[in-house]
Amino acid sequence: MQSIDLNSKLEGKRRRLQKGLEYACKSALGITALMMLTFFLALGYRGIGAFSQTQIEINVTSIESSTKSTINQSMYNLIKEPDRKTKKSLRQLVTPNAYSKIDITEVGTYVLVAHTDVDMYVKGVYNKLDEVQQVIVDNLIEQDKIYRTWNWDFWTNSDSRSPEIAGIWGAVVGTFYTIGIAILFAFPIGVSCAVHMEEFPQRKGKGWKRYRDFMEININNLAAVPSIVYGLLGLAVLINFFGMSRSISLVGAITLGILVLPVIVISARTALRTVPQHIRDASNGLGASRLQTTIYQVLPAALPGIITGTIIAIARAIGESAPLIMIGMVAFILTAPSTPMDPATTLPVQIFLWADSPERGFAEKTSAAILVLLVALVTLNLLAIWLRKRFEIKW
């Protein structure tokens, strides 16, 4: 009789295959991690600069007829007797929009936002300054008159033609309007659709079975339709047929609401299915109607799962941009929208617009906006995971 040594180790070909697969699997996961690390590091490295802003301190010694000429005059004072060309270089050190934000009526020291070229030079991204500007900027840095501070403009401003003062506030407000309205109607409709499919079994019979199968296929297919098709739906039905105006957040909200509806339905159905049958039987046995059972017993028990699914759906809607581009939410928005009927844009679309911009100063804004978006999405996802862990009911 052959005996087996239980302590013997695997040897030869079998061992090599065994180890080989393990290492292959490990390295696959490693490659995924590495790719994602490169991804985040590249974005972080590019975007971190946008959170600081370069500012110039100027001494105003004389008040001119307008704020613009006051600023220009005090810039000219940096050099003794500048000629025309030098004057132009000096003027271009501050952002072209400087005079619209600040009103100078008294002599004193003022802080202005530097031009994007100065900003990029200070941050060491690229150098497009001419010789005069470079000398002055170096000089001012030594005197501590050019310095970098926290970039509030990035958070409180809307889009702009000048990268140095462009911000995400308008896009954030647009996102809130769009996603808020989308969820406001997608959530009740989605949950009631799930309740209808799970809790109210239709009568027996071939026709009813076909109806249920059709609903099932319909929902699963809707969840898998490419998002751009929803954009075309919004364009053809809402804008072309119903004549709603382009670019407004209401149209975007309806389109995104339709887009996330199947996601909510599917997660709500899964949540309803985890509620065990004996809860329903007990409630029915006490004389509650099917509706009362559903509303007082099943829905509260399934609520954590439904909320988790909805948060994931919100995250999906926040990141969506293709359908919004189709319905014209790619407009250039200078001020934050104040009602859902105003032209608006959302954060991902703003990213798309900035990424397309030829102005190089926008590259860092794009990465920074992406970082903001990713932080928001990761927070939402972690919140969903935490909620699932915290409120999950083990039956």
Partner 1 sequence: MFIWIGPKQKSSGFNEDLIKGFFRISSWITIAITFAILASLSYETIKFFTLVEPRDFFFNTTWSPQTAFRADSVGSSGEFGFIPLIWGTMFITFLAMLIAGPIGLLSAIYTSEYLKPSQRQIVKPLLEVLAGIPTVVYGFFAAIVLGPWLREMGVTLGLDVATESALAAGVVMGMMIIPLISSITDDVIKAVPSAMRDGARGIGATREETIKNIILPAALPGIVAGFIMAIARAIGETMIVVMAAGLAANLTANPLEAVTTVTVQIVTLLIGDQEFDSAKTLSAFALAFTLFVITFILNWIAYRNYKNAINRLKQ
Site for partner 1 in 250-289 (CB under 8 A): 258, 261-262, 265, 287-289
Among the listed residues 37, 111, 184, 228, the single contact to partner 1 using CB under 8 A? 228
Among the listed residues 312, 329, 333, 368, the single contact to partner 1 using CB under 8 A? 312
Of 74 and 321, nearer to partner 1 (C-beta) is 321
Residue 360 touching partner 1 (CB under 8 A): no
Residue 221 touching partner 1 (CB under 8 A): yes
Count of Cβ atoms closer than 10 Å to residue 83 Cβ: 9
Q: Are 296 and 199 in contact (CB under 8 A)?
A: no
Minimum CB separation of residue 287 from partner 1 in Å reads: 7
Number of residues that bind partner 1 (CB under 8 A): 91
Residue 292 touching partner 1 (CB under 8 A): yes
The rounded distance, in Å, linking the Cα atoms of 101 and 187 is 42
Q: Are 316 and 293 in contact (CB under 8 A)?
A: no
- The contacts of residue 86 (CB under 8 Å, 6+ apart) are 79, 132
Minimum CB separation of residue 224 from partner 1 in Å reads: 4
Residue 373 touching partner 1 (CB under 8 A): yes
Residue 111 touching partner 1 (CB under 8 A): no
Ranges within 153-172 binding partner 1 (CB under 8 A) = none
Q: In what order do the strands lie in the sheet with 52-60?
A: 108-113, 52-60, 146-150
The rounded distance, in Å, linking the Cα atoms of 121 and 129 is 8
Quick one: which segment of 69-77, 93-101, 130-138, 226-234 binds partner 1 (CB under 8 A)? 226-234
Residue 220 touching partner 1 (CB under 8 A): yes
Minimum CB separation of residue 328 from partner 1 in Å reads: 8
Quick one: which segment of 129-137, 143-151, 155-163, 187-195 binds partner 1 (CB under 8 A)? 187-195
Q: Are 169 and 347 in contact (CB under 8 A)?
A: no
Residue 383 touching partner 1 (CB under 8 A): no
Quick one: which segment of 128-136, 152-160, 174-182, 369-377 binds partner 1 (CB under 8 A)? 369-377
Among the listed residues 184, 236, 282, 334, the single contact to partner 1 using CB under 8 A? 236
Among the listed residues 184, 225, 282, 286, the single contact to partner 1 using CB under 8 A? 225
Among the listed residues 85, 161, 196, 273, the single contact to partner 1 using CB under 8 A? 196
Per the DSSP assignment, residues forming a β-bridge with 156 are: none
> Shortest CA distance to 93 belongs to which of 109, 71, 115, 124?
115
Minimum CB separation of residue 121 from partner 1 in Å reads: 21
Among the listed residues 107, 135, 229, 334, the single contact to partner 1 using CB under 8 A? 229
Tokens of 168: 């995400």
Residue 215 touching partner 1 (CB under 8 A): yes
Minimum CB separation of residue 27 from partner 1 in Å reads: 8
Residue 321 touching partner 1 (CB under 8 A): yes
Tokens of 53: 């802003």
Query: What CA–CA distances, in Å, run from 363 to 176, 322, 353, 366?
Result: 24, 20, 11, 5
Residue 42 touching partner 1 (CB under 8 A): yes
Residue 37 touching partner 1 (CB under 8 A): no
